[in-house]
Amino acid sequence: MVWELVSSIRFRSEYVPPRTGDGHAVLVIPGLFGVDMIMLPMRNFLARLGYIPYKWELGVNTAAPEDLDNLTEKVEVLYKKHQEKISIIGWSLGGIYARELAKRKPHMVRQVITAGAPFRGIKNPNNIAWALKLLKGEIEDFWDKALIDSLPGLTPVLTTSIYSKTDGTVRWQDCMSESEDALHRNEEAVSSHLGMPHNSSVLEIIAERLPDKIGAKV
């Protein structure tokens, strides 16, 4: 994680993508036990490319059931403020939230990009689930079953799922869309799970995909 942060400094300050940003708003959501500070390198990178990044502003991400409702309100506020659809980028659990926000408010979300988000296997064993279980119990104890069952479902907006076979924390297969089409695409990065918020491989994919714009699926 530290090596990825240090090694990407030059990339984050100098990289110029084929298409620069168009000034639209981008909500950036941290992963489990993450905070806004962890996502700062990504937000600064997005701002340099011409986007308007926003923090999630909900403190430590502890998978609290009310977070999704609070984020839904934030999407509404940003949409009203900018008078256009916003994009949402989420790392790990933040990516799961991003996908669900798109399902709730497809008319307000331009696209979703997830990085290491195990939406297809939230209950599968991984190297961080034990900490959440120790803190809060089984996921069924604090998340609605209907929400858990809906997680693998396709999003109704343009979605890029970034996965890494060197993730080391969650199963990379759980971070990919089961099928790909005009709206749903998978992209492989070379990154550790903890390094994704500042890994140059991940950031390059985000930079190349974020300018895309396509209508919501009907």
Percent above pLDDT 90 for the chain: 79
Alpha helices in the chain (DSSP H): 2-7, 9-14, 40-49, 66-82, 93-104, 129-136, 145-150, 200-209
User: pLDDT-based confidence at 2, cuts 50/70/90?
Assistant: confident
Rounded to whole angstroms, how far apart are CA atoms 64 and 15? 36
- What the chain holds in terms of domains, given with CATH numbers, is 2-209 (3.40.50.1820)
What SS3 state is found at 43?
helix
Check residue 3 and give its pLDDT. 82
Q: Assess whether pLDDT exceeds 90 at residue 199.
A: yes
What SS3 state is found at 197?
coil
User: pLDDT-based confidence at 217, cuts 50/70/90?
Assistant: very low
What SS3 state is found at 156?
coil
User: pLDDT-based confidence at 16, cuts 50/70/90?
Assistant: very high
- Angle at 116 (CA atoms; ends 114, 121), nearest 5 degrees: 100
Q: Assess whether pLDDT exceeds 90 at residue 20.
A: no
Which pLDDT tens digit goes with each residue over 72-92? 999 999 999 999 999 999 999
Strand partners, 63: none
Check residue 32 and give its pLDDT. 92
Q: Assess whether pLDDT exceeds 70 at residue 215.
A: no
> pTM here?
0.93
What SS3 state is found at 27?
strand
